[in-house]
Amino acid sequence: MPFSFRSLAGVFVFALAAASSLATSSTPPPVLWYEQPAAKWTEALPVGNGRMGAMIFGSPAEERIQYNEDTLWTGKPHDYARPGAVQHLPAIRKAIADGDSKRANDLVRAHFIGDPVRQKAYQPFGDLRLSFPGHQLATSYRRELDLDAAVARTTYRFEETTYTREVFASYPAQAIVIRLTADKPGALNVILRSESPHKSAANRLVGTDTLALSGQIAADGLRFESRVRLIATGGTTEPSENKIVVKNADSVLLVLVAATSFKNYEDISANPAERCAAYLARLENESFASLLGAHQADHRNLFNRVSLNLGSTDAAALPTDQRQKRLKENGLISDPALASLHFQYGRYLLIASSRPGSQPANLQGVWNEEMNPPWEGKFTTNINFEMNYWPAEITNLSECHQPMFDLIDDVVVSGRRTARTNYGVGGWVLHHNTDLWRATAPVNNIDGMWSTGGAWLCHHLWEHYLFTGDREFLAKRAYPVMRESAQFFAEFLVKDPKTGWLVTSPSHSPEQGPLTIGPTMDQQLIRALFRSVIESAAILKTDTEFAGKIADLYAQLAPNQIGKHGQLQEWLDDVDVPDNNHRHMSPLWALYPGTDITPATPAVYDAAKKLLAWRGQGSTGWSFAWRIPLWARVGDGDYAFSQLAGLLQKRTLPNLFDLCGPFQIDGNFGATAGVAEMLLQSHAFSPSDKALRILDLLPALPKAWPTGSITGLRARGGFEIDLEWQDGALTRVIVRSTLGQPCRLRFGRFTEDIATLAGQTYILDGQLKRLR
């Protein structure tokens, strides 16, 4: 049906019928809350400012605030590449070609894996302990985390007095701020202590109001210090080297800062004491109100860009842990507001663990209490690290992507060394893990023999450009990195003697062995990398000769292959086992987060759906999370919904943290991105016009969410989208164009092409359900 539009003060309105209003119950505030303190770390509530994170337990009598700083790791500057590794590469390749897995494995373990074999570990920093004598008998207890305010709050009554604790981690202040108040004057009595699990840590008093905690991870490792300043209003304060005692105060303000000697992955000569002093000096005259105001303005500038309303039921009035328990009996369909809360929690956690200037979010985000955290709390690049950043662009948190790009800049440098040492080629390479020291060599075991981690990170650079259209970013930051990664593969790839295709060797299909050549995921990643280099060179009008060389190699890469069962093959050989319900979805990378497998290539698309069905339900939290956008990409919203439900029912902790086996944050981020993908997709182009991007609206809407709305999602091509729907039918669309590119809106059988202008807004509303 054709549309007419008219200009309305810079807003173009497509008129179908009278405007309709959203008919759904309002979503409750995004708050996690509980009727009891956290009994263990995995029940505590997280706050973070990117660089620092803290877990709030909320015990009335003995509060614990466990905190981290993102550069506190074991180890020191070190190149993991094993000298002489390249000499053994021909023998490893020959052993794989001969089918001698044992010899290939032995050679890799003896001569090719990094030195040391395992990378270093993210570390806990310390704990603030606040003792409130007698408060064990508290009543009217409530503990909460307000995602909109980014404040953790504990309230209770004791002896006719109501006590309140508020904790937040401020990015502008680079500090964690705690305020203690009571509704009666002179009622606050508290003892402050600071401690650390590190044996070297020691306390000292700085001035009369600040406790310092300092230590060193190892004799030649990182030095660290934190300082907490206490300002009491009313009452008396008794400071000592190990504690500060406050008696009969009206309120208490605590400001916690922390730092290490880390300057960069090659320099640990900074002075953490000087850094802490500087942080506190900048906050010398700041009141709680000014600190809170600056913090909330900063946080809400990011958090409030996106809202999601899926409706609400009576379950939304229950404490969060009770809501989660009820899911096992009633299912997620009984509590749609929990799905929207979990979606926003993922966005909150990304804001809290990844901000410009910080380290990127690791396997635990920025939160960890263990000296030996699972998988060292590293950046695992065969899925988990990338999954952390899937929500960054689509859920309007592009700034939070920056720490990943900073890490990429570092691993380019260390990856050049590994490319030379292990493979004798140029460019840069990253395998399946890295750490604070920007290790790029293969580590752990033969599963580390996977050389396409860098290609996957390059995909994030390209995606950032596609969403933002930032040509300066593409020219100065993304393209040089992608080009050098492509150079590595141009020199590293070998010709498969059976097929003549160019393949990786040696390699490994994450996370299934054995050592092999040319697994499907490798070929998909390299194909995406090569294409982004070719397209970037054309956009920037540069590097024509190199782009031509990459185009020649692109045509020789092993293609996606369809096996004897009609499945997308995982390996070059057709050896897939039907119904292999493995956690990792590696051969489906090109379906999501890649963009190559679409209905435009129906045979491969159907084969991908076959393999996806074989993989079945998720197991680990992140595997549930990956399945959500995969099923969304094939248009099955109900199965995508079942994976979200499974994640919340089986792999989610009481504080809504994700479980791999232990806590691992990637499932939180992956699920948030997956929900967004159910509601909006922008990876496809018109088959007849490759410049016309398709914006698929509600492409995988489940029956469980018949009515709802979302605002502020981002789409490739520089678009921001608001959607409203009722009884499964789209009722309103708002498109804001930042780049002025054309797009095609698609909803069911309805399509409409728009030639947008930069800075303009386009509204389509009315009775769209009749067009479905």
Distance between CA atoms of residues 324 and 65, nearest Å: 24
Which residues does residue 696 pair with via DSSP β-bridges, in sequence order? 681, 746
Does residue 686 belong to any structural domain of this protein?
Answer: no
Distance between CA atoms of residues 505 and 497, nearest Å: 12
Question: What CATH number is given to the structural domain containing 248?
Answer: 2.70.98.50
* Reported confidence tier of residue 766, pLDDT bands at 50, 70, 90: low
On the question of pLDDT at 78 being above 70, the answer is yes
| Phi, psi values for residue 152, rounded to 5° | -95, 130
Does residue 572 belong to any structural domain of this protein?
Answer: yes
In whole angstroms, how far apart are CA 115 and each of 79, 112, 395? 8, 9, 39
Distance between CA atoms of residues 712 and 690, nearest Å: 26
Distance between CA atoms of residues 407 and 340, nearest Å: 31
At residue 517, the 3 state secondary structure works out as: coil
Contact present, 301 and 398 (Cβ < 8 Å): no
pLDDT digits (tens, 9 = 90+) for 543-591: 999 999 999 999 999 999 999 999 999 999 999 999 888 888 999 999 9
Report angle CA 219, 223, 224 to the nearest 5 degrees.
145
| Domain match, 643 and 671 both | yes
On the question of pLDDT at 325 being above 50, the answer is yes
Q: What per-residue confidence (pLDDT) applies to 424?
A: 98
Identify the helix (H) or strand (E) that includes residue 670: helix 666-679
Contact present, 16 and 123 (Cβ < 8 Å): no
Question: Dihedral of the CA atoms 114, 381, 590, 622 (nearest 10)?
Answer: 130
| Domain match, 450 and 586 both | yes
Q: What is the mean pLDDT of residues 453-480?
A: 98
Q: What is the mean pLDDT of residues 621-647?
A: 98
Question: What CATH number is given to the structural domain containing 413?
Answer: 1.50.10.10
Parallel/antiparallel/unpaired status of strands 11-15 and 5-8 = antiparallel
Q: Which domain holds residue 712?
A: 5-24+707-771
| Domain match, 236 and 177 both | yes
Left (φ > 0), alpha (ψ -120 to 50) or beta: where does 760 sit? beta
| Domain match, 556 and 656 both | yes
Of 282, 303, 324, the residue at which a domain comes to its end is 303
Q: What per-residue confidence (pLDDT) applies to 2?
A: 33
Distance between CA atoms of residues 742 and 736, nearest Å: 12
For the chain, first and last CA: distance in Å?
12
| Phi, psi values for residue 609, rounded to 5° | -65, -35
Distance between CA atoms of residues 60 and 157, nearest Å: 9
Distance between CA atoms of residues 616 and 113, nearest Å: 33
| Phi, psi values for residue 548, rounded to 5° | -65, -40
| Domain match, 450 and 529 both | yes
| Domain match, 419 and 453 both | yes
Query: How many domains in the chain?
Result: 3
**Helix, strand, coil % in the chain, rounded to nearest 5:** 35, 25, 40
| Domain match, 554 and 620 both | yes
On the question of pLDDT at 770 being above 90, the answer is no
* Reported confidence tier of residue 25, pLDDT bands at 50, 70, 90: low
Structure tokens that stand for 405 in this block: 């790009």
pLDDT digits (tens, 9 = 90+) for 32-64: 999 999 999 999 999 999 999 999 999 999 999
Structure tokens that stand for 673 in this block: 């991105």
Helices (H) and strands (E) in the chain, counts: 18, 34
Where does 635-722 have alpha helices with state H? 637-650, 666-679
Report, in angstroms and rounded to the nearest whole number, the Rg of the chain calculated over CA atoms. 27
Q: What is the mean pLDDT of residues 463-477?
A: 98
C-beta atoms surrounding 480 within 10 Å: 15
| Domain match, 177 and 295 both | yes
Of 627, 645, 680, the residue at which a domain comes to its end is 680
Distance between CA atoms of residues 24 and 522, nearest Å: 45
| Chain center to CA of 406 | 15
Q: Which residues contact 102 (CB under 8 A, 6 or more apart)?
A: none
| Phi, psi values for residue 346, rounded to 5° | -60, -40
On the question of pLDDT at 111 being above 80, the answer is yes
| Domain match, 417 and 558 both | yes
* Reported confidence tier of residue 328, pLDDT bands at 50, 70, 90: confident
Does residue 577 belong to any structural domain of this protein?
Answer: yes
On the question of pLDDT at 371 being above 60, the answer is yes
| Chain center to CA of 355 | 12
**DSSP E strand boundaries for 101-195:** 126-131, 139-146, 151-158, 161-170, 175-182, 188-195
* Reported confidence tier of residue 767, pLDDT bands at 50, 70, 90: very low
417: nearest Cα among 408, 427, 407: 427
Q: What per-residue confidence (pLDDT) applies to 691?
A: 87
Distance between CA atoms of residues 299 and 400, nearest Å: 12
Distance between CA atoms of residues 433 and 127, nearest Å: 29
Which residues does residue 170 pair with via DSSP β-bridges, in sequence order? 175
Does residue 757 belong to any structural domain of this protein?
Answer: yes
Does the predicted TM-score (pTM) go above 0.85? yes
Distance between CA atoms of residues 186 and 232, nearest Å: 11
Structure tokens that stand for 33 in this block: 């809350």
| Domain match, 721 and 594 both | no
Does residue 696 belong to any structural domain of this protein?
Answer: no
On the question of pLDDT at 232 being above 90, the answer is yes
Distance between CA atoms of residues 207 and 427, nearest Å: 52
| Chain center to CA of 675 | 14
Q: What is the mean pLDDT of residues 657-669?
A: 96
pLDDT digits (tens, 9 = 90+) for 693-739: 999 999 999 999 999 999 999 999 999 999 999 999 999 999 999 99
Is the Cα dihedral 364, 367, 370, 371 positive or negative? Answer: positive
Does residue 311 belong to any structural domain of this protein?
Answer: no
**DSSP E strand boundaries for 316-409:** 379-380
Does residue 693 belong to any structural domain of this protein?
Answer: no
Which residues does residue 659 pair with via DSSP β-bridges, in sequence order? 663
| Phi, psi values for residue 72, rounded to 5° | -90, 105
DSSP-assigned states of every residue in 251-271: EEEEEEEEEES-SBTTB----
Is the Cα dihedral 241, 242, 248, 249 positive or negative? Answer: positive
321: nearest Cα among 308, 304, 335: 335
Mean pLDDT for all residues in the chain:
94
Distance between CA atoms of residues 576 and 521, nearest Å: 14
| Domain match, 676 and 737 both | no
Length of the chain: 772
| Domain match, 388 and 500 both | yes
Does residue 115 belong to any structural domain of this protein?
Answer: yes
Contact present, 705 and 726 (Cβ < 8 Å): no
Contact present, 478 and 349 (Cβ < 8 Å): no
